[in-house]
Amino acid sequence: MYEFLEIERPLPHVLLVRFNRPEVLNAVNTKMGGEILDVFSRINNGIDKETQCVVITGAGEKSFCVGGDLKERNGMTEEQWQSQRYVIKNYNMAIERCPVPVICAVNGYALGGGSEMILRSDFAYAADDASFGFPEIKRGFMPGSGGTQRFSRVAGAPLALEYILTGDRFSAEQALAWGMINKVLPKTEVLSATLEVAERIAGNPEQAVRIAKQVIKSGLQTDIERGLVLEMLGHQRLTSAADRMEGIAAFVEKRDANWKKD
């Protein structure tokens, strides 16, 4: 039970997290940040054993998320600001460390921390009228939740410098061309398409999905030789898994696999 998040389980093993502050374009205040931290901490710490894929979206028709709530921040003391940053840093890290796939269904504005949320996720689908950007520079600061580093790695340094230093917005088609999102869809189809791919992921063996995600993410942080070692170790770990043997048997016997669920 959360005040600023709506939580649903629309499909087996799929958790839908909806930011629920549409009156302020789903800006994240301190309480909402703590709720996001709680959701992902429950997954990361094994309390939530049901979830095998997370979908994040925004309530309302206009916005996915526009980042931090600047009205709440107005007039904060340094101590209050640091306290809020602690919450923000920890929910960012909790999402980053989430062992199951995290997918964003971008239904509108994705600005500041909203764009950083997408970059932090595993991949995203977006509405054709979605709008992206990093407007922090226009308010006297800069992205502080991974935007400078992740956007430059996805889109390249020249584009990151242009859009972070100007604070200009960019379109869903631009985000697609630059590799920030995977697919552009009509607004009415974004969530259903995202849930459909989440269902297909959650229908695969849990251990294989988790290890494959970990190997890809960790491998991107090192050189190809070390990345191949990580792949070999992940592959070896799955070799003796019951799901691998079940998957091969199901293929040979032309039936659906009966995956083991922890």
What pLDDT is attached to residue 261?
62
With respect to CATH, is domain 5-202 assigned 3.40.30.10? no
As a whole number, mean pLDDT of residues 28-42 equals 96
For residue 83, the model assigns a pLDDT of 87
State yes or no: pLDDT of 109 exceeds 80: yes
Q: How confident is the model at residue 92 (pLDDT cuts 50, 70, 90)?
A: very high
So what's the pLDDT on residue 262?
52
Beta strands in 12-165 (DSSP E): 14-19, 53-58, 63-65, 102-106, 109-111, 123-127, 131-133
List where CATH 3.90.226.10 sits in the chain: 5-202
pLDDT tens for each residue of 184-215:
999 999 999 999 999 999 999 999 999 999 99
What pTM was estimated for this model as a whole?
Answer: 0.93
- At residue 197, the pLDDT reads 98
Confidence of residue 44 (pLDDT cuts 50, 70, 90): very high
- In angstroms, the CA 252 to CA 169 distance is 51
Answer whether 210's CB lies under 8 Å from 99's CB. Answer: yes
Q: Mean pLDDT score of the chain, rounded to an integer?
A: 93
Q: How much is the pLDDT for 67?
A: 92
Question: Which residues 6+ apart lie within 8 Å of 202 measured at CB?
Answer: 11, 12, 13, 14, 52, 53
pLDDT band at 81 (very low <50, low <70, confident <90, very high): confident
What are the residue numbers of the active site? 116, 136
Percent of the chain past pLDDT 90, that is, above it, reads: 80
Strands annotated E in the chain: 5-11, 14-19, 53-58, 63-65, 102-106, 109-111, 123-127, 131-133, 169-171, 183-185
Confidence (pLDDT) at 242 = 83
The pLDDT, as a whole number, for residue 102 is 98
Question: For the chain, where do the domains classified as CATH 1.10.12 start and end?
Answer: 206-252
Could you say which architecture CATH assigns to the domain 206-252? Orthogonal Bundle (1.10)
- The partner residues of 105 in beta bridges, in order of sequence, read 125
Is the pLDDT at 108 greater than 90, yes or no?
yes
Residue 166 contacts residue 137 (beta carbons within 8 Å): yes
In the chain, % of residues over pLDDT 70: 99
pLDDT of residue 105: 98
